[in-house]
Amino acid sequence: MASEPAETTNLAAGSDALLPSTATSNTRQSRVRKREDAIIAAGRHVFTTHGYARATMAMIAREAGVADGTLYTYFENKDALARGVIADYYARLTATAKQGVDNRRTTRTRLDFLARHHITSIMEERGIIEMLPVLTSSLSDFSEDELYGLNKTYVAVFDTLIRDGRASGDIPGDADVAVLRDIFFGALDYGARSSLLRSSRKGARKADVTRLVDRLVGMIIGGGASTGSLADRLEAVIDRVEIALKKVDN
Amino acid sequence: MASEPAETTNLAAGSDALLPSTATSNTRQSRVRKREDAIIAAGRHVFTTHGYARATMAMIAREAGVADGTLYTYFENKDALARGVIADYYARLTATAKQGVDNRRTTRTRLDFLARHHITSIMEERGIIEMLPVLTSSLSDFSEDELYGLNKTYVAVFDTLIRDGRASGDIPGDADVAVLRDIFFGALDYGARSSLLRSSRKGARKADVTRLVDRLVGMIIGGGASTGSLADRLEAVIDRVEIALKKVDN
DNA sequence: TTTGATTGAATTACTATTCAGTCATGCGCG
DNA sequence: CGCGCATGACTGAATAGTAATTCAATCAAA
């Protein structure tokens, strides 16, 4: 946990974002914080493997090494605990995404990184994301929910990337950023799910990811798979005419 | 329910796919079937509005107009009932998708229809789809699950469309169909969710859908988002030529 | 009359949550 | 310096509420 390669994509556990992480400190405060971390880590694991409904407070307590009741001094209830887990997840996801993007130069490598980073994280902790609908349903004013804000902050990394890419001329077109966002994250989320279902071997999954990311990035950077030059499109049209004419011959 | 416009996109309720629907028949068999339909309809409504966890068997029974215990003569348990609802949903979704595609000529209009059809259905009955993760988690061999098969049959409509489009030269490139599928359905699912959260007005949501679908179809067909270009006009001409040729064939 | 569907009150299971009691820490005071 | 108390953390058995599920009794069609 101490010497983390700065460039890695995965979201190692534990939220040591704040405080100077004095590993030796043993004050009351620090122990409380450690415990909170342990509970969140346990929650992440249990929720990820069992899903919100099947996960029980008892499981989480046991895994965190505390009594059932202790959970309630840290989180008001199961719902709040799950939200805590998600908040921690988003915090790490956003931080590593930002960092990775800042470390690259070109729009293409940045986009490529962000795509891989997202789909990889999703695949590793799919269960976390799947709790979102359960927690937010029956919430008419979702825009006031903290989770909405966390997600917004996260996707802002993408939005900024697109705007910068446009400003520098790397990304053609002027489609609504929201549309590109839907396509980008939607494809990655769906791709993560289907790859996990389809391929059991890790190597196969990696290939799935590469294929999808390459195509997706190409579509966004290239303004469409076949850049849509007039000549290209005319050629496609000519092909169709020829095929149609063939029918006439028969 | 009797005189349904053939061209509509929405998935009217009730699964009258099979049997000649003798509205007057009053045999034991027919009443049993009617009751099953009522239960599925009630389940669909309750699950959609409350989500799997908050929906109770009592609610569904009340809404279906039967006693709690009756549900168990039709479905083994809550899980099976939810699966029944999903199966019915997929059956209708697939049927209307196929029908709509078959009713159009060009690859572009077919793809456009399929995209709108999908996102519209999702937006209307989002809760149904969100039950999937809950029901399938803890299922290591998902590929053996019936729901997997239903989904596969549904997306096959897209796969066929892409292959046909390629054969006729409408769709350039030779990227893995699975990749296009991830992008297509992923973007639509994600777009449905974010539009529902973002826009409360129905008109705004409609605009969201149009923007996303146009862009997405453009990306796959390769035409880009631009409209009214020379190429578009040529394509329109070709459509007319093809239709004219059909008439010649007859 | 038989047979299968239907009923809904009773049962069962499960778990989130509470709380009275225990414990440990760190601080103030002798 | 060391002692004991006040404070807050921690414990886990008991509670409480919720629904899923069962089943003996009833009903209605064939």
pLDDT one-digit tens code per residue, A124-181: 999 999 999 889 876 667 777 899 999 999 999 999 999 999 998 888 878 899 999 9
What pLDDT shows up at residue B4? 35
The nt closest to A72 (CA vs C1′) is C17
**Between A137 and A82, whose confidence is greater?**
A82
The average confidence (pLDDT) of chain A is: 83
Query: Which CATH number describes the domain made up of B79-224?
Result: 1.10.357.10
Write out chain A residues lying below 8 Å of B248, CB-based.
248
Query: Which CATH number describes the domain made up of B26-75?
Result: 1.10.10.60
Q: What Å value separates CA A29 and C1' D7?
A: 14
Matching CATH topology for A14-74 and A78-249? no
Closest CA to B30 of B18, B42, B41, B12: B18
Which element (helix H / strand E) includes B249? Answer: helix B230-249
What pLDDT shows up at residue A23? 42
For the segment B92-109, what is each residue's pLDDT rounded down to a tens digit?
Answer: 999 999 999 999 989 999
Tell me phi and psi for residue B104, to 5 degrees: -110, 160
The nt closest to B72 (CA vs C1′) is D21
Above 60 in pLDDT, residue A29?
yes
Tell me whether A202 touches chain B (CB under 8 Å).
no
For the segment A203-219, what is each residue's pLDDT rounded down to a tens digit?
Answer: 999 999 999 999 999 99
Closest CA to A40 of A77, A83, A10: A83
CB-nearest partner of A219 from B138, B219, B234: B219
Tell me whether A54 touches chain B (CB under 8 Å).
yes
Q: DSSP state, B145?
A: S
Q: DSSP state, A68?
A: G
B134 touches strand D (CB under 7 A): no
What is the CATH superfamily name and number for domain A78-249? Tetracycline Repressor, domain 2 (1.10.357.10)
Closest CA to A188 of A121, A96, A95, A103: A121
What pLDDT shows up at residue A250? 63
Cβ contact B175–A215 (<8 Å): yes
Q: Which tokens sit at A97?
A: 């995404």
Above 60 in pLDDT, residue A103?
yes
A237: pLDDT confidence band, cut at 50, 70 and 90? Answer: low
Q: What Å value separates CA A61 and C1' C19?
A: 18
Residues of chain B with pLDDT under 50: 1-9, 12-24, 224-229
Q: Which tokens sit at B115?
A: 């995209």
Q: DSSP state, A7?
A: T
Closest CA to A219 of B184, B194, B206: B184
CB-nearest partner of A244 from B219, B229, B245: B245
A15: pLDDT confidence band, cut at 50, 70 and 90? Answer: very low
**Between A172 and A223, whose confidence is greater?**
A172
What ranges do the domains of chain B cover?
Answer: 26-75, 79-224
Class of domain A14-74: mainly alpha
